[in-house]
Structure 1
Amino acid sequence: MLHGLLNEESINSLQGQEYRDRIQRIEKALTDAADGDLSLKELAEWAVGHRDWNVRRLAVETLAARFVDAPEARAAITEAIHDDVDWVAFTAIKVAGEHRVPEAVAHMIRISGWPSNFTKPAYARKPVGCGAAFTKRALLDFFESTDPDELRELEDRHFARLRATVDSARREPDLRDAVLIPAGPFIAGARVNDIGPFQMDNTDNPLRVEELPAYYIDRTTVTNARYAEFLDAVGGSREFAHPDEPNGKDYTPAHWHDPRFNGPGFPVVGVDWYDAYAFARWAGGRLPSENEWEKAARGTDGRIYPWGDEWSNDKAQSVFTAYGRDDIRNLAELEELLVTTTVSWPERPVAAADSHPAGASPYGVLNMAGNVWELTRTNFFTRADMAPFFKGRAGQEFMNRPEAFHVLRGGTWTSPPVCLSTFYRGKDLLTDRHNEVGFRCVYDASGK
């Protein structure tokens, strides 16, 4: 009988009083059913998957009343907290508090904030709607206290095991060859705004002062040797993957077998943003923001190149050194040269990651001008951290979306000096894999 009442097509065809009568009959059938007549598995499925929201609401109530001690029931109640219909979510929140469902606590805190904060008499807050009000009440019911100091102790106790699990899984940062960048302000942005013969546009990076906490940054770009350690360690694991990473992702660089690029001491190239993201997590760090990259490259005095304000051909791997030409005077001549590039020429496009010590930044960071562009975690258009959401979609579906482009910094072996300045902003599609692009990582300095 109950299964017939719950038929989705049948319910969907009803309107007005007929629909309301059906929901009342379902509620009565669930209330009157003997324990042996109700399936935990089916109730959990109805609570999170039934097409009719009233059925989902009633299934949540029944799960809490009949099966709340079962992990499957608590998982369904917790999932229902995020239902897109308010009264299903409100019902799940209420029963989670009344029945003290531990799995739901973290989800409710994301809605209302920490109880130890919102119970403080002078805590600044905005007026709330039903959802936040229900959530606050449910959290206070769960912790059985309204005292902010006691709540802080109860919160710490509740999350102690989760914190221990997270701490045990957290990788120590790989600081074998990293440089400390001290906390404090630095001069960011372009010091040269004329277009010049290479048609350079710096208007998207205005001169300004930025403040950053201390952090570590790799002294060199990630090398092929170091990236090989990552490949050996992760195998086919997706442990360090970005949630948006394409299905079936292979972290192997595109140019892994090209002798011009695959020397152990060369910067790894042919990787995309997702590859670099996963490596950085595996290394216990992250990709740098463009501000972190820029400070490490130029120090605090606003210099144009890592070594100073004057271009020096022997301090960076540029289009001049890679192609053996020093007579490229404008954009047309540059493009005329670049179209002569082949899969085998130039023969030595990149230099070792630890080359050009005379071109080091004020902090001793190497090759921040030239050799390879460097990936960052910054979105080119919004300047916020990258937050891609393209999984399962082909490149042509998102290649014109602003959310798909990250900032590149530093210039590369095909770049003239104007692109190798400390403030020039390049951009790239996050799924592209070029032999001109590599990356380095940054690491938190707290506690180090």
Structure 2
Amino acid sequence: MHYELPDAPALASLDNEAYAHRLSVLEKEVTGQPPTPELEAELCRGTGRHADWNVRRICVDALAARFADSPEARQAICAATHDDVDWVAFTAINAVHSLRLPEAAAHLIRISGWPSNFSRPAYARKPVGCGAALTKRALWGIFGSRDPEELRRLEDEHFAGLRAQVASARVEPDLSDAVLVPGGPSIAGARIDEVGPFQMDDADNPLRVVELPSFHIDRTAVTNERYGRFLDAVRSGGAERWAHPDQPDGKDHTPAHWRDPRFDDPSFPVVGVDWYDTYAFARWAGGRLPSEDEWEKAARGTDGRRYPWGDTWDTELARSVESAYPGENPRDLDELEALLVRTSLVWPPEPVVPADAHPRGASPYGALNMAGNVWEITRTNFFTRQDMAPFFKGRTGVEFMNRPEAFHVLKGGTWTSPPVCLTTYYRGKDLLTDRHNEVGFRCVYDAAPPDA
């Protein structure tokens, strides 16, 4: 007979005395049922998904007592160490300690850090709560030692397979079409704070000095030809190795404008990609998305210039609204918007140019089209200025489109932008799931240290 856990609404309708009695009955039921695969599956489901935390706690205990040899049960118990209700997590931590589940080590280390560190007598630490104390004790029990040197050896041994897997998946970047940006200080931020005819206010982006290590950056935005090679790799299998953990399920990374004749030339920058697409591509290419500061230094150099080529605007050196829309030159925000609302599926007929166009507009390091043609995605959150850390999996855009955590910085301006948006310091923003024909990206790569 298939056993089903009581549902949360039914439990919520009980008064305190009846609720406590029902939990007591539930504990007897799950220990009295035959240990069938169906019962195990129901307990695993309850451990991870039941809305009542006491039911989750009871399921953890029952799995540990009755199905400790099952990989599925052990996985469910390990996952429960991260439950958002303390006593469910404590129950799971005690269970993995009692069972000495080696696969739980990776889960517990996320909570307390490496036991070889916190076991050192001189290790600086603050008083901890129940969870941290239980976790440390469990790790000592799983590894069977409290000696920091022995723990380090055991940690290396335990994670050797995972480290080998990570090393085998590491991609050596192709730097044949990348430029070096030397390390050191550089100027970032806006040089003006006036509003102007396009209603631009850069008061929240003050001038400052940033210090960065050396890095390489793609000479051009990623092209359709190069992105196509990534799609071939994704479609041949193993796409999850490059995907961000928060990436929506079922994503295939095909750009929205992959078949659009105005944007699909192999030499054009790829557009119609979102933040998750660019994150996966960068990992596949052995690099990462640039931070806002990395991008700005690559475009600007160290002298705080306004445009990649200098301080004076030149419409011949960048693809902007002035060159993408023949005969148009909007002088203020009203004229710009009046022009943009006339944009259609066929007009303007040639919005973008090849990624290696405008060589005279190169940045001080030789990067091309860092002003105009397409906006470029970064890994920097627009509001916090920290690296993006999305947590929206399973939600639709309308559920997080007002969340600050969902917006990354765009840099460089695009074919619909006036010159004021093509400055090296201008900060655009976009929702991380949006896919526009105005937005592309390029990657950065770590530079080897000087003595390497």
- Superposition TM-score, scaled by structure 2 size: 0.88
State the AA in 1 paired with 2:39.
E
Q: Does 1:294 align with 2:291?
A: no
Q: Does 1:84 align with 2:84?
A: yes
Q: Which runs of 4+ in 1 moved over 6 A?
A: 9-14, 28-31
SS in 1 for 2:96: helix
Query: Among 359, 362, 365, which residue is 1:360 paired with?
Result: 362
Q: Does 1:424 align with 2:426?
A: yes
Contact 2:3 2:39 in 1 (8 A): no
Q: Deviations over 1:212-253 (max 9, x none)?
A: 222221110011111111222212854233344344435332
State the AA in 1 paired with 2:256.
A
Instruction: Check 1:22–1:372 CA distance in 2 against 1; reply closer, same or farther (3 A cut).
Output: closer
Q: Deviations over 1:312-365 (max 9, x none)?
A: 232212222223447543333333433443332333222211111211111111
The within-5 A match list for 1:201-240 is: 201-235=201-235, 238-239=239-240, 240=242
Deviation at residue 108 of structure 1 after TM alignment? 0.6
Deviation at residue 205 of structure 1 after TM alignment? 1.3
Query: Among 264, 267, 270, which residue is 1:268 paired with?
Result: 270
Tell which deviates more after alignment, 388-397 or 227-236.
Answer: 388-397
Partners of 1:107 and 1:431 in 2: CA distance: 29
State the AA in 2 paired with 1:270.
G
Tell which deviates more after alignment, 236-245 or 112-121.
Answer: 236-245
Partners of 2:362 and 2:95 in 1: CA distance: 61
What is the aligned partner in structure 1 of residue 409 from structure 2? 407
Instruction: Check 1:351–1:46 CA distance in 2 against 1; reply closer, same or farther (3 A cut).
Output: same
The within-5 A match list for 1:141-290 is: 141-235=141-235, 238-239=239-240, 240-290=242-292
Deviation at residue 304 of structure 1 after TM alignment? 1.0
Query: Among 329, 332, 347, which residue is 2:331 paired with?
Result: 329
Contact 1:43 1:59 in 2 (8 A): no
Partners of 1:47 and 1:253 in 2: CA distance: 38
Partners of 2:60 and 2:275 in 1: CA distance: 41
Contact 1:48 1:80 in 2 (8 A): no
Tell which deviates more after alignment, 128-137 or 172-181.
Answer: 172-181
Contact 1:47 1:57 in 2 (8 A): no
What is the aligned partner in structure 2 of residue 49 from structure 1? 46
Q: Deviations over 1:150-176 (max 9, x none)?
A: 211111111111111122223332433
Partners of 1:327 and 1:147 in 2: CA distance: 72
Q: Deviations over 1:40-79 (max 9, x none)?
A: 6524642550656555445534544454333233223212
What is the aligned partner in structure 1 of residue 100 from structure 2? 100
What is the aligned partner in structure 2 of residue 38 from structure 1? 35
Contact 2:291 2:378 in 1 (8 A): yes
SS in 2 for 1:284: coil
Tell which deviates more after alignment, 210-219 or 127-136.
Answer: 210-219
Deviation at residue 372 of structure 1 after TM alignment? 1.1
Partners of 2:27 and 2:271 in 1: CA distance: 61
Partners of 2:86 and 2:431 in 1: CA distance: 38
What is the aligned partner in structure 1 of residue 138 from structure 2? 138
SS in 2 for 1:354: coil
SS in 2 for 1:374: strand
State the AA in 1 paired with 2:263.
F
Instruction: Check 1:219–1:115 CA distance in 2 against 1; reply closer, same or farther (3 A cut).
Output: same
Partners of 2:335 and 2:12 in 1: CA distance: 68
State the AA in 2 paired with 1:439.
F
Deviation at residue 130 of structure 1 after TM alignment? 0.7
Aligned length: 444
Instruction: Check 1:294–1:145 CA distance in 2 against 1; reply closer, same or farther (3 A cut).
Output: same
Contact 2:307 2:371 in 1 (8 A): yes
Tell which deviates more after alignment, 420-429 or 67-76.
Answer: 67-76
Deviation at residue 282 of structure 1 after TM alignment? 2.1
Partners of 2:408 and 2:321 in 1: CA distance: 23
State the AA in 2 paired with 1:113.
G
Tell which deviates more after alignment, 88-97 or 138-147.
Answer: 88-97
State the AA in 2 paired with 1:106.
A
Deviation at residue 83 of structure 1 after TM alignment? 2.9
Instruction: Check 1:244–1:161 CA distance in 2 against 1; reply closer, same or farther (3 A cut).
Output: closer
Contact 1:94 1:134 in 2 (8 A): yes
Contact 2:44 2:73 in 1 (8 A): no
SS in 1 for 2:244: coil
Q: Which runs of 5+ in 1 are unaligned?
A: none
Give % identity: 69
SS in 2 for 1:196: coil
Q: Deviations over 1:115-163 (max 9, x none)?
A: 1111122222221111110110111111122222221111111111111
State the AA in 1 paired with 2:195.
I
Q: Which runs of 5+ in 2 are unaligned?
A: none
Instruction: Check 1:29–1:339 CA distance in 2 against 1; reply closer, same or farther (3 A cut).
Output: closer
Partners of 2:403 and 2:156 in 1: CA distance: 42
Instruction: Check 1:307–1:53 CA distance in 2 against 1; reply closer, same or farther (3 A cut).
Output: closer
Contact 2:43 2:63 in 1 (8 A): no
Instruction: Check 1:141–1:195 CA distance in 2 against 1; reply closer, same or farther (3 A cut).
Output: same
Tell which deviates more after alignment, 107-116 or 238-247.
Answer: 238-247
Partners of 1:43 and 1:433 in 2: CA distance: 43
- Superposition TM-score, scaled by structure 1 size: 0.88
The within-5 A match list for 1:388-399 is: 388-399=390-401
Query: Among 286, 298, 309, which residue is 2:311 paired with?
Result: 309
Instruction: Check 1:352–1:137 CA distance in 2 against 1; reply closer, same or farther (3 A cut).
Output: same
Contact 1:371 1:412 in 2 (8 A): yes
Deviation at residue 260 of structure 1 after TM alignment? 2.6
Partners of 2:373 and 2:75 in 1: CA distance: 51
Deviation at residue 2 of structure 1 after TM alignment? 12
SS in 2 for 1:257: coil
Q: Deviations over 1:395-419 (max 9, x none)?
A: 4443333333221110112222211
Partners of 2:55 and 2:114 in 1: CA distance: 31
Contact 2:262 2:351 in 1 (8 A): yes
Q: What is the root-mean-square deviation of aligned Cα atoms in Å?
A: 3.0
